[in-house]
Structure 1
C-alpha cells in the first residue's frame, strides 16, 4: 500500500476539507501527495518528463479537487491524472497531436457545476437499469464491491465488469454531448 493510499484512508477529513475549499487543507494534501506522484511519474514517465508530469498533476488537483465525488477515490483519481499527464507528455515528445483530454477538461472547466451535475445525471439516466444500479451503489452510495455483490446477488467479477462498462458508457455519453 502506498503512503498516499494510507493517507487518504487514515485522514479522509483532510481530503474532505480540501474538497470543501479549505486552502490550508488543500496545501497539506498536495504536500502529502507530491512524493507519491513523483514516485509514480518516475516509474511511468520518461526521465525528462517527470517534473512536468508532477507539476501538471498537482496543478490539476489544486484546480479540480472540488469535483471529486468520493473521498475514498482520491488516490485512484490522483494516479489517473498522473498517468494521463505522462501519456500526454510522451505523445507530445514523439510528435503525436495532443488530442483530447485537455480539450475535454477545458470544456468541462468552463461549465457551471449545476450544468455538470445535469449532464452527469442525464448520462446516468441513459444507462440500462443493471448498469445504472451498480453505478448508483458504487459512486453515489459508496458501497464496496462486496456490498454491491451481496445486495444484487452477483459475483465480485460481475459487479466490477458492470461498473467498468457503465463508466465507459457514461464517458461516451458525455463526450458526445
Structure 2
C-alpha cells in the first residue's frame, strides 16, 4: 500500500471528511472488481458495491490499524455478496433437481439415465461435493463449510467428480456403438 493511501486511510479514520470522500472514490474500482469475482449476479455486484461503500463511510472510524484496511474492506465485500446470494437463493427455492421439468427425447432420456447412474456410483466424497455445488448450487465456500473441508478441496473433488462422470458417459457411448 502506498504512503499516500496509508495517509488517506489514517485521516479518514480520524474523521477527515475530504479524505474519506477521496478514499471512497479510490476504493470503488477495487471493491467492484472483487465483488465481480465474489457475487453471483451483476445486480448483486452493483448492490454490494453501494452497500460496502456505505459501510466503509459509516465504519471507517472503527478500523484499528491502517495495515488491516484492505483485508477488512474485502471481508465486508465478501460478507455482503454472501448475504445477497442467500437472499436471492431463498427467493428461488427451486434448488431441487427435477428430471420431470426437462424436455425429453429418447436420446435425452438415455443421457439423463446415464448421468444419474454415473452420479450414483461416484465415491461419496465426490458425490457430496458435486450435488451440493452443481445440483443445489451452493458456492464453494458454502460447500467447504458444510463438509468441513477447504475450498481448494471442494474444487479438486468437484473437478475429479466431473472427470469421472465424463469418462463413464463416454465409455457408455463407446460400448453402445
- Larger radius of gyration between Structure 1 and Structure 2: 2
